[in-house]
Amino acid sequence: MARCPTVGTFPTSRAAEQLTFGGRSPDELSEYHIFEAESQQFLILALEYHASDETLEWASKMLNEHPSLPAILTAHEYVGLSQDRSQVTDTEYGQHLWDYLIAEHDQIFLTLSGHNHGVGYRIQQNDAGNEVVEILMDYQMAYQGGNGLLGLLEFDLTNDQLQLAAFSPWVDVKPYDTLTSFDHLLLNNEPDSWTLGFNFAERFAGFNTVFTAGTADELPLADRDVERVSKSFVPYKPEAADLPRHRDDYPALESTAAHWRPGELDQHDGSVIATGEIIPEVTAEQHFTRQEGINGAQEADVTFADTLHPLSSDGAAACFANADKHFGGRDVSRLNYFNADDDAAVNAETFDKGYTAETFIRVDENWTAQLNPSMKALSRMGQRENITAGDGLNMPVNLAFSNLQEL
C-alpha cells in the first residue's frame, strides 16, 4: 500500500516534538494528544478522513487506556447539513463512526468536523444516556473561500458553558479600501456563534469523579478576542462616491471581451422579453438573443426588471421565472435562456491568460435546494472533452449555485 504524502511531510517524529503528543495509529494518519487546562486533563483524538475500522479499533484502545480523560474527537467528515441548512444531519460515514466508536465511549463529549460546507451543531445522547455536542464548521463556501473565518471554542469550567465565537482576524487587518459588503468581521448569531449550558462535572461523573470547576479569575477568551478584533474595525459602507452617477459610469477596459447590459432594452418593469429579442452588447455587435425555451417554457417566463443592486450602473435585469425542477409535476427543468450570436467575436476567444466574469445576480427568496439545485447563471457552451480529456457531457464552464447557494 502506498504511503500517504502527508506522512512524509508530517512524520511521527515531527508530531512527537509537541509536548501534548500521545501516539499515532498504525497507519500514522491519526493521532491523539493530552493537554491540561485549569488543572484538568483532556484528550484530543484526531482521526484521518474516513478512518478505517482498524484505526477506529486503535482509537478505542487509546480511550480505554485513558479511561478518566474527557475526550474531544476531530474528524475531517462526520456530520452534514440538511438541504435548507437548518439542521445538522447524519452522513453515511458519520453514522458508522457513531455506531463503531462514539456512542459506546462515554468519554467523548464533543466532536468537531468539516468537509460538508456550512455551520451548525446538534446534541445526541450516547449509550450511557449522556450528551455529545457535535459541531460542524466549514466556511469553504464563504467569500474568498472562507475569508479567514474561524471559530473560537471556549470551555467555561467556572460557569459551566460552552461558547463558540465566529469571526475573521483576516478581515480585521484588511485595508479599508479593499473591503466589500461580503467582508464580515463577526458572525454573532446562531448557528455561527452560540453559548450552550454544559455542566462539565456532571457530564464527566461517570468516568471522572474528581473533575472540578475552574478558577473564577480567568478572563473570558472568546469575549476578549472578539472585543480586540472589533475595537477599531470600520465595516465597509458604500459612500456616494462609490455609487454610479449615471448609466455609463462603469470601467471601460480595452480587454473587455463582451459586456451585455439589459438596461439597453429600455423597457418598462415587468414587460416580457420575447423569443428572438436581444440583450444588447456595448463593445461590438455580439448580442445575447433569447432562444426558444424547452420543457414547457413560455414567453412570459422572462421579463424585464428595472430594479437592481445600487452598485450596478445598468440598473436593470432579465428576470427568469418558473425555472423550478419538477415544474408542473414533471421531473424536468423548465429552461429559458439567451445565447450569444453564432458569429460573436467572444466565441473565438481562448482566454489563454484567464478571464473574469462579473455580474449581478439576485436569487429569488423562494429558492430551495430541492427545486433549484445547480442553478446556472452563465455557461460557456460546448463540450468539456473539446478542451480536456474526460467527461464530455458537461459544458466546459458554468457559473452556478450549489444546493447550498454557493457560487
Residue 266 neighbours by CB under 8 Å, 6+ apart: none
Q: What is the per-residue pLDDT for 3?
A: 47
Residue type, 188: N
Torsion sign (Cα): 60, 65, 71, 73: negative
Q: What is the per-residue pLDDT for 315?
A: 85
Please provide residue 270's backbone torsions phi and psi, each rounded to the nearest 5 degrees: 90, -5
Question: What residue ranges do the domains of the chain occupy?
Answer: 5-230, 240-362
Q: What DSSP line would sit under 15-82, residue for residue?
A: HTTSTTEEEE-TTSS-EEEEEEETTEEEEEEEEPTT--HHHHHHHHHHHHHSTTS-EEEEESS-EEE-
List Cα–Cα distances, 347 to 4, 156, 356, in angstroms.
43, 60, 15
Are residues 149 and 142 in contact, defined by beta-carbon separation less than 8 angstroms? yes
Q: What is the per-residue pLDDT for 45?
A: 98
| Dist CA 216 CA 406 (whole Å) | 43
Of 225, 239, 348, nearest in space to 284 by CA: 348
| pLDDT averaged over 10-residue windows placed end to end, the chain, 407 residues | 62 93 95 92 97 97 98 97 86 97 98 95 97 96 91 91 94 92 92 95 95 78 84 87 88 90 91 95 90 91 89 90 73 84 89 89 83 83 63 71 77
Q: How far apart are the first and last CA of the chain?
A: 38
List Cα–Cα distances, 387 to 39, 154, 160, 352, 391, in angstroms.
61, 50, 58, 12, 10
Q: What is the per-residue pLDDT for 1?
A: 36
H helix count then E strand count, the chain? 7, 20
| Dist CA 43 CA 161 (whole Å) | 19
Please provide residue 4's backbone torsions phi and psi, each rounded to the nearest 5 degrees: -65, 135
Q: From edge to edge, which strands make up the β-sheet containing 31-37? A: 21-24, 31-37, 40-47, 71-75, 108-113, 131-138, 118-125
Q: What is the per-residue pLDDT for 401?
A: 82
